[in-house]
Amino acid sequence: MSCEIDTEDQIITFKSRGNHQYHPLCTNCYDKEKSIHSTTIRKIRDLNIGNNKVYIENSFRNLRCSTCGIKIEDLEFVSSGQHVTKRLEHYIVYLCSIMTIKDVSNHLDLDWRLVKRIDKKYLGEAYSHVHQEDLRILAFDEISIKKGHKYLTVALNYETGKVIWMGEGRSKETMDEFFGSLSEHVRNGISAVVMDMWEPYFNSTKRYCPNAKIVYDFFHIVSAFGKVIDKVRNQEYHKATDENKNVIKGSRYLLLKNTGNLTDKEKPKLENLLNVNSKLSEVYILKDYLKEIWKTDDKNEAELLLKTWCQAARETQLQPVIKFAKMLETHKEGILNHCDYPIHTGVLEGINNKIKVIKRKAYGYVDTQYFIIKVKSIFGKELPNWCN
């Protein structure tokens, strides 16, 4: 082996030639081969030494493999078809776990497409499958990735907090893909699943997990009632006098805020609003009373609270509120199951917010599959040993 140092361009080149006393291995089947078709010289990029780029100029023998045809010989320090060493690949994957592709590309002076391709290959091998170990309680939610209702469904192991799967869309086919990746034994062992009231989530869970209790998420239900409050606010605004319109206008977030989170300036504004409009006062009280259903672990008490709330909702004679009450009664079982499993998608909501930050950091995720495995690598499990 010889070494050349270009001090001007800061490049170190190690020239290496294969030891022809040893029979080369086929990169495909790893059989020893004696027949050599040809020899080529290739430059392989290696880890930097200080500020110097390092290249290994190595001879590669092309083999006449009796099984695979013409194949290049296998060398342990470089993957087949790559122009960087394995240890540089590992370093790239590690850097991509803490930096953007663009930053890694600039730092190593490599094409960003090569950086992405290497990162995607290694993470795909580590995180493409579903981790089914200790899977007992699941949480489902979706995240918007593009305009026009483009969603990814996220599945979380509720007890470990790990993202175990992500899939495009939130349809029946999406859910079938996820549950199809689980063994029947694992599906039968799932005892509870927390979700919003999206029908494909419910139907697929019932079909594939016969022993699982569906638990409807408290935060989604309260958020859905917030939309009902806003509908009522709009209706009351259009019916109000000019003077009262000025009070109702701009009160959307005031009505949705928890009482304890109101500022000193907001409290008198809310009090004035509720005094001006009795219907808004009624829905505001119903919003706080709705939360009481989730504050008990006694199923009989929770059922009574739900029944009382729905009756009070009907007495408002407001169609959006009555419609919401009917929806709660239809999904009563999933609401009351929180008494057995006091679980929610709050943790997953937090993860979804972090996923949105990852997306905004401009990793260049036109490639949805790469985005999925990137998220799973961050929220899935520990990095492989060679990354530590």
210 and 236 belong to one structural domain: no
**How far, in Å, CA of 286 to CA of 229, rounded?**
10
350 and 202 belong to one structural domain: yes
277 and 369 belong to one structural domain: no
- Asked whether residue 11 carries a pLDDT value surpassing 50, the answer given is yes
- Are the beta carbons of 143 and 360 closer than 8 angstroms? no
Compute the half-sphere exposure of residue 58: CA atoms within 13 Å on the CB side of its CA.
Answer: 22
Residue 6: inside a domain: yes
Residue 355: give its domain's CATH number.
Answer: 3.30.420.10
Sign of CA pseudo-dihedral 47, 49, 52, 56: negative
**How far, in Å, CA of 21 to CA of 348, rounded?**
58
149 and 69 belong to one structural domain: no
Residue 127: inside a domain: no
**How far, in Å, CA of 381 to CA of 127, rounded?**
9
Of residues 292, 294, 289, 291, the one with CA closest to residue 343: 294
- Are the beta carbons of 168 and 368 closer than 8 angstroms? yes
Of residues 17, 23, 98, the one with CA closest to residue 66: 23
- Are the beta carbons of 374 and 180 closer than 8 angstroms? no
187 and 223 belong to one structural domain: no
Of residues 103, 96, 29, 107, the one with CA closest to residue 66: 29
Residue 106: inside a domain: no
What is the pTM assigned to this prediction?
Answer: 0.72
308 and 358 belong to one structural domain: no
Residues 6+ apart with CB under 8 A from 342: 297
| Residues of the domain holding 47 | 1-83
Count: domains in the chain: 3
Site of tokens 């979706």: 142
pLDDT of residue 388: 37
How many angstroms separate the first and last alpha carbons of the chain?
A: 31
164 and 213 belong to one structural domain: yes
Long-range contacts at 179-185 (CB < 8 A, ≥ 24 apart): 179/204, 179/205, 179/207, 179/208, 179/209, 181/129, 181/130, 182/130, 182/132, 182/135, 182/208, 183/132
**How far, in Å, CA of 156 to CA of 163, rounded?**
5
Residues 6+ apart with CB under 8 A from 366: none
328 and 190 belong to one structural domain: no
Residue 129: inside a domain: no
Write the pLDDT tens digit of every residue in 115-126.
999 998 888 888
Residues 6+ apart with CB under 8 A from 231: 320
pLDDT of residue 377: 80
Q: Find the length of the chain.
A: 388
- Are the beta carbons of 15 and 55 closer than 8 angstroms? no
pLDDT higher at 21 or 255: 255
Write the pLDDT tens digit of every residue in 60-87.
777 777 778 777 666 777 777 778 998 9
328 and 350 belong to one structural domain: no
Pairing, β 52-65 against β 36-49: antiparallel
187 and 333 belong to one structural domain: no
Domain C-terminal end among 46, 62, 83 = 83
Write the pLDDT tens digit of every residue in 297-356.
999 999 999 999 999 999 999 999 999 999 999 999 999 999 999 998 877 777 777 777
Domain C-terminal end among 66, 83, 100 = 83
**How far, in Å, CA of 197 to CA of 189, rounded?**
22
Residue 92: inside a domain: no
- Asked whether residue 30 carries a pLDDT value surpassing 70, the answer given is no
- Asked whether residue 173 carries a pLDDT value surpassing 60, the answer given is yes
Reading the block at residue 82, the tokens are 């790559």
pLDDT higher at 148 or 376: 376
Distance from chain centroid for Cα 222: 23
348 and 200 belong to one structural domain: yes
3-class secondary-structure state, position 335: helix
**How far, in Å, CA of 271 to CA of 257, rounded?**
13
Residue 42: inside a domain: yes
Residue 90: inside a domain: no
In sequence order, the β-bridge partners of residue 154 are 141, 166
211 and 352 belong to one structural domain: yes
Q: How much is the mean pLDDT over the chain?
A: 85
- Are the beta carbons of 26 and 71 closer than 8 angstroms? yes
Residue 56: inside a domain: yes
Domain C-terminal end among 42, 59, 83 = 83
